[in-house]
């Protein structure tokens, strides 16, 4: 696992590794664009999962609270990472996508809703945003 991480070091920056946090402006611009695309896809994923939850709500399986809170929580979480990206806080780290933090927070969100609505838990287990 560490070997894979080391082999990816420097990728996304044109193959160059910046010294002491100095990153060229064009690389920073490209990184922000890539993060915006990634975060937009995550927002669409959150909306689609919420749509599936609304179908369960319409069928009477769950309350309207579950899809509403899931959507708002997902968008708030993505919004947090948008703020980090737009203020260039991400660029201070070797992994400028903050991959582990994002994956961990989304998994925690889904596990929380798995506990909140166990009757449809498989929706949260099968959906990885």
- 83 pLDDT exceeds 90? yes
Q: Does the residue 15 lie in any domain?
A: no
- 94 pLDDT exceeds 70? yes
pLDDT at position 35, please? Answer: 93
For 81, the token pair is 């990472």
DSSP state of 19: S
Q: Does the residue 2 lie in any domain?
A: no
Q: Does the residue 113 lie in any domain?
A: yes
Q: Does the residue 11 lie in any domain?
A: no
User: In the chain, pLDDT over 90 holds for what percent of residues?
Assistant: 59
DSSP state of 118: G
**61/53 Cα distance (integer angstroms):** 9
Q: Residue 99: which of 121, 81, 74, 80 has the closest Cα?
A: 81
Q: Does the residue 63 lie in any domain?
A: yes
Please provide the DSSP assignment of 48-105 as one string.
Answer: HHHHHHHHHHHTTSS-THHHHHHHHHHHHHHHHHHHHHHTT-GGGSSSTT-HHHHHHH
Mean pLDDT, range 83-91, rounded to an integer: 90
User: Could you report the per-residue pLDDT of 41-75, keeping only the tens digit for each?
Assistant: 999 999 999 999 999 999 999 999 999 999 999 99
**69/50 Cα distance (integer angstroms):** 9
Q: Does the residue 76 lie in any domain?
A: yes
Q: Does the residue 64 lie in any domain?
A: yes
Of 75 and 9, the one with more pLDDT:
75
Reported pTM: 0.76
Containing structural domain, residue 99: 24-126
């Amino acid at each position: 696992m560490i070997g894979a991480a080391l082999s990816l070091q420097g990728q996304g920056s044109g193959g160059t590794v910046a010294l002491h946090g100095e990153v060229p402006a064009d690389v920073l611009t490209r990184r922000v664009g890539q993060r915006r695309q990634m975060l937009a896809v995550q927002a669409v994923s959150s909306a689609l999962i919420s749509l599936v939850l609304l179908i369960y709500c319409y069928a009477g399986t769950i309350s309207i609270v579950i899809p509403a809170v899931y959507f708002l929580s997902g968008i708030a979480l993505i919004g947090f990472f948008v703020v980090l990206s737009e203020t260039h806080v991400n660029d201070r780290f070797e992994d400028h996508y903050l991959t582990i933090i994002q994956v961990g927070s989304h998994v925690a969100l889904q596990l929380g809703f798995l506990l909140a609505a166990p009757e449809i838990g498989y929706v949260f287990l099968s959906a990885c945003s």
